[in-house]
Amino acid sequence: MATPTPSSSKIALSPTSESFVSPPMKRRRLESGGETNKGCTLLLTGLAKAGKTKLSSKLSTILKQERIQVKELDGKLLRAGLCSKLDFYDDDARSTFVHLASEAAKLFTSEGFITIISIVAPLEKDRQEARKSHENDGLRFVEVFVDRSRVECVRETDGMKNVIHPIDWDYEPPTSHEIHLHRSGNNVDDLTREFVSELVAHKLIPPHLLQPTVPFSPSGPTSSPSTTVDSFGFDLDDDNEEEDGDDPKYL
């Protein structure tokens, strides 16, 4: 039997040998129609305490478990860092905040990430400018309206929010959003499933994520320690988790 040469020893992998694909390529591959993930920005907009951060965290966990590149941009963290010099009592500064969040997202989306922005973004014109900026650069942009009644949002904070000048006092419900999620009570897990289903329908994530074996709770048997909290260190199971706009400094 002839001794294989270095070139002949590279045996072609069978179609079932997908596990041998290098991680970077696997992360960037969508299994829907053989498409390659070109990245996408998901803008989660809604009233403060609507559930945007919770949904972002849960979706991020699911995508990370599938080795899909994902980045979360949370309003609270952006205000504390990149946008810490902005005066949120000023209307122009609030628009600038949405613009900066959008431009930061584009940096990740252009590299193939699914980038999730979780901010109130109260004005329609600011959301449309973010969309146009993405489209001008050939980047996918999906607006997700996390719709929860103001009564429920206030009740979750025992009436302590929105006392002086709420960040969402002038919130304009979206008119051209791609995804509409209705938050009622504590239906976050059901809403996450609906969210995943919508993303599959828009061909943004692989269809096999709809299978019931996909763990929606970070405490599931397939979860690892690295996926029990979101990328900013919040406990996904903490129902008292702070949403954007809840810091008294910005009321």
How confident is the model over 202-214, as a mean pLDDT? Answer: 78
- Say yes or no to pLDDT of 38 above 60: yes
Weakest mean pLDDT among 31-35, 119-123, 157-161, 224-228: 224-228
pLDDT tens by residue, 45-99: 999 999 999 999 999 999 999 999 999 999 888 988 888 878 777 788 889 999 9
Structural domain boundaries in the chain: 40-204
Question: What pTM, to 2 d.p., does this model score?
Answer: 0.71
CATH superfamily of 40-204: P-loop containing nucleotide triphosphate hydrolases (3.40.50.300)
Looking at the chain, list the stretches that DSSP marks H as alpha helix, in order from N- to C-terminal side: 23-27, 52-65, 75-80, 91-109, 124-136, 150-156, 188-201
CB burial string 26-52: b at 16+ within 10 A, e below: ebbbbeeeeeebebbbbbbbbbbbbbb
Residues 99, 105, 107, 109, CA torsion sign: negative
Q: What are phi and psi of 232, to 5 degrees?
A: -110, 10
